[in-house]
Amino acid sequence: MADDNPLLIQREGPVVRAIMNRPDRRNSISTAMGEAWSALLAELREDRTARVLVISGAGGHFCAGLDLTEVQKPMSPEAKLEAQRERNARTGARFVGISELPQVVIAAIEGSCHAGGLGFNCCADIAFATASARFAAPETRRGLVPAQILPWMVRRMGRANATRMVLEGRVIDAAEAGRIGLVHEVVADAAALEALVQRSVKDVLEGAPNALAETKLLLRALGPLSPDGYAEAGAASFGRTASSPEAAEGIAAFKEKRKPSWVV
C-alpha cells in the first residue's frame, strides 16, 4: 500500500528525489507523509554530499494538500482544536525546513497542486510544471484558512496575486500560474518536465556547493518570510477554523461533490 511508504526517496549521486506517494489520494498530506518529510529534512540538513532535492508526486499529480479525512477524525472540540493547531504548525515548520536546506530544491509539478501542495511549490527554490498542471488555494471553500502557505505564496508571486488566489479559491491552469510567477517555466508534458528538471540540475551542479548554500543564506537575509508571530497566529487560526461547524460542512460538501450551505 502507498500509505506504507508515503514518501519515496531516490538517490542519484548528489541528487535526491522525494516523490509524494499517495496517488489514490492525489498525494494528499497524511500524518505519515508529514513524519516522513520531517525525517528526510533532518537527514538532508546534515548531508553535504547531497546537492539538489527534486520534489514531485506519483501517479500524475503533485500534491492536493491536507488529507481532509484526518481533519474529520472524531474527537472532542477542544482536542480537535489543539490537534489541528499542532498539525498546522508542523506543516509550516516543514516548509521553512525545505526552504532552509543547503541543497537547491526543485519542484516538478504535474496534475493537482492545491492548498498544501502550493506550499511545497512555493518554498522550493525553482518550480516547473506541465501544461496539464492545475493550481488552487481552496481552503476558504472548505471552511478553512490558507494559514501556512500564504506567506510562501506572497513571496513567490506577490501579495496582489496571492490575495486574489486565496480569496477566490478557484483553480487556475499552468499558463496562468506561469504568468503570475507561481512557477518558473511550463512545458508540454511529463517527458518535457523531466528533461527540464535534468537540465536545471545540470546547471545547478555547475555551481560550487558551499557557494550555492551561502547564496541561499543571502536570499533569506533579504527579508523575513513573515512578521514575527505569524506562524503561531496562522496555526491558531487554522485550529479554530478546522474545528468549526463551517469546516465540518465545507469538508462534507467537498466529499459529497455539492455546494456548501453558505453558497447562495
Q: What is the pLDDT of residues 111-159, one digit of tens each?
A: 999 999 999 999 999 999 999 999 999 999 999 999 999 999 999 999 9
> How does DSSP classify residue 5?
S
pLDDT for the residue 180:
98
- 263 vs 75: which has the higher pLDDT: 263
pLDDT band at 4 (very low <50, low <70, confident <90, very high): confident
Percent of the chain with pLDDT over 90: 94
Cα–Cα distance measured from residue 56 to residue 19, given in angstroms and rounded to the nearest whole number: 5
What pLDDT is stored for residue 75 in this prediction?
82
Question: In the 8-state DSSP scheme, what is residue 196?
Answer: H
Question: How buried is residue 61: exposed, middle or buried, by Cβ count under 10 Å (0-12/13-18/19+)?
Answer: buried
Per-residue pLDDT band for 2 (boundaries 50, 70, 90) equals: very low
* Nine cell digits for residue 60: 500524475
Domain 2-190 CATH assignment equals 3.30.410.10: no
Helical ranges in the chain per DSSP H:
31-45, 68-71, 77-99, 116-123, 150-157, 159-168, 174-179, 190-204, 209-221, 230-242, 245-255
Mean pLDDT computed over 211-229:
96
Identity of the amino acid at 53:
L
- Whether residue 88 contacts residue 121, with contact meaning beta carbons closer than 8 Å, is answered with no
Q: Kindly report, residue by residue over 6-27, the tens digit of the pLDDT.
A: 999 999 999 999 999 999 999 9
Q: Burial, 155: exposed, middle or buried (Cβ in 10 Å; 0-12, 13-18, 19+)?
A: middle
User: Alpha-carbon distance 22 to 8, whole Å?
Assistant: 10
Task: Please answer whether residues 40 and 9 qualify as being in contact, where contact means their C-beta atoms are separated by less than 8 angstroms.
Answer: yes
pLDDT in tens, 191-212: 999 999 999 999 999 999 999 9
Q: What is the pTM of this model?
A: 0.96
185-187, strands of its sheet edge to edge: 7-12, 15-20, 52-57, 104-109, 126-130, 185-187
CA 71/CA 91 separation, integer angstroms: 14
Question: How does the average pLDDT of the chain come out, rounded?
Answer: 96
Q: What is the amino acid identity at position 181?
A: G
Residue 223: pLDDT over 80: yes
Q: How far apart are CA 66 and CA 3, in angstroms?
A: 14
pLDDT (0 to 100) of residue 127? 98
The whole-number pLDDT of residue 163 equals 98
Q: Which of 188, 160, 161, 194 is nearest to 174 (CA)?
A: 188
* pLDDT value at residue 1: 42
